[in-house]
Structure 1
Amino acid sequence: MKKVLVTGAAGFIGFHLSNRLLKEGFKVIGIDNLNDYYDVNLKYSRLGLLKGHENFTFEKASLEDKEAVDLVFSKYKPEIVVNLAAQAGVRYSLENPQAYIESNIVGFTNILEGSRHHKVGHLIYASSSSVYGANTSLPFSVHDNVDHPISLYAATKKANELMAHTYSHLYGIPTTGLRFFTVYGPWGRPDMALFLFTKAIITGEPIKVFNNGNMMRDFTYVDDIVESIYRLTLKTPEPNLEWNGKKPDPGTSYAPYKVYNIGNNNPVKLMDFIEAIESKLGIEAKKDFMPLQAGDVPETYADVEDLFRDINFRPQTS
């Protein structure tokens, strides 16, 4: 029975992943600080379901608290770590940049150090499609250069990938970065477009439609995300022996390091998305058309060929 440490276990993806790992017979140690970025009751409700499993253990802790993180590693000695705890949200990073440095940089350093000192066999961590920033070549490929982030959130996720590579190089820790593309599904965060739009339409409030509706997103269902992560827990990255420093490939390395896109590989127009919600509710939305917001990208579209090749799975849910 392998022991997996899942950070952000009371979060949207962390909850779904922990549930799946428990069903597959893993022992799951969940960490979460249960912060109030959104309604804490939702986090407690997710956690309540996980606590019904005998192989689930919960520790309330913030990743920024090095002593608390070290204690969890020492106490449970996880073989695999899946780091999903982070300060989420591109727009919130404009208002509260410090939260992103503390959670996504300081917190991730503590996870890396814990993995190093306790000889973790595989560290998997959440990155984001936002790292593609100013790139306009579609679909986005992990083999593309991603040196032009346009939000602090994206910059912290790119930093996580660089930090992971450093630890893979220095200490031989196998690391896998996951660039998620607009995840949606049950138990999702209330600040996600699906819930914001639906609530506003039902209550007769206008919805904010950015870039005058000229946006596309590669919406990815949470079960497809979880299936991908589960399969990747079983696949430890190996050094790429063909990697060439004269023509460096950002997607792989001479170290045991890999990054993957996890997206639906089928972008949807924002207006089509809104229309689908209107259709199900039987109510037409009042729309406030607005310019593109700072930090946002107009389109996301994931190239998932590496994921398909390595774990024989591509997202299934339309």
Structure 2
Amino acid sequence: MIVTITPNPSLDRTYELAALAPGEVNRAGLDRLDPGGKGVNVSRALTAAGHRTTAVLPLGGPAGRLLADLLGRQGITVAAVEIAGDTRINVSIAEQGGRLTKINAQGPELGPAESAALLRLVRTDFTTAGVDWLACCGSLPRGVAPEWYAELVAQVHSGGARIALDTSGPALLAALTARPDVVKPNREELAEAVGRPLATVGDAVDAAGELRKRGAQQVLASLGADGMLLIAEEGSWYGTAPVARVRSDVGAGDASLAGFLGAGGSGPESLAAALAHGAAAVQLPGSVMPSPADLDPAAVIVTADIPLDRPLRG
């Protein structure tokens, strides 16, 4: 089983428009409401692929109850810590030309007792032999120190489970010393972690190598339209998966992590699965997670011959 932990989950409202007209009344062609938050999306993608998963969440208010209900309808088990604040609601506006505008709410502030209860729930219920991976995903809520993820990684390892970490900034840097089994930064997060811009694939390889030196056992780095890297002790690989049209990239990185963990969480085959899931996700509306029928593994190319001089777009 793969367990996900999302400290700052959300309800995600997505509107699809032909084109956004700022300052005017806009009418949506499609309106979706999906469970949100990076770990929640990982659980949704895993469930769509037939894997067992539990989503560990702090939930509060009517939005929190609706989030749990939506996940239950999708067959996802929820392990919740009740909090005093209200679960946040995020809004995305997707235009037909591919531009995406996101408005993410701050979310509730967690008190010391609430953040401690979340750690205790993971430690007591999900560090057992039956758990293959724990995926800790997303930003930390207000009131939670950056070291919270580091403490979680240490507790998970003490129970013998493996941990994947998808976060950024001080929380990522603080957690590296606890040696997470895999970290999954995107290009911007990777550049922020090493304190310099990344202009080529080789720059990204060097930056991922720095994260490994600081403690990450593997680095799965998403480079957006330029593909993905997997840098690990046993080898380094680069892969691409061409996409004809991007409909929405909300949750695409989360789908990639689900594909990676669902395929075992190491080596070129897992990187290929991550690419296939990410490519499928960006062609779906809102934050819809891909099912096996949406995947195109034949379009994925993975190689150990990394094009170090290839410029990164954007």
Name the TM tier (shorter chain): 0.3 to 0.5
Hey, which of these two has a bigger chunk of helix by percent? Answer: 1
Hey, which of these two has a bigger chunk of strand by percent? Answer: 2
Q: TM-score, normalised by structure 1?
A: 0.42
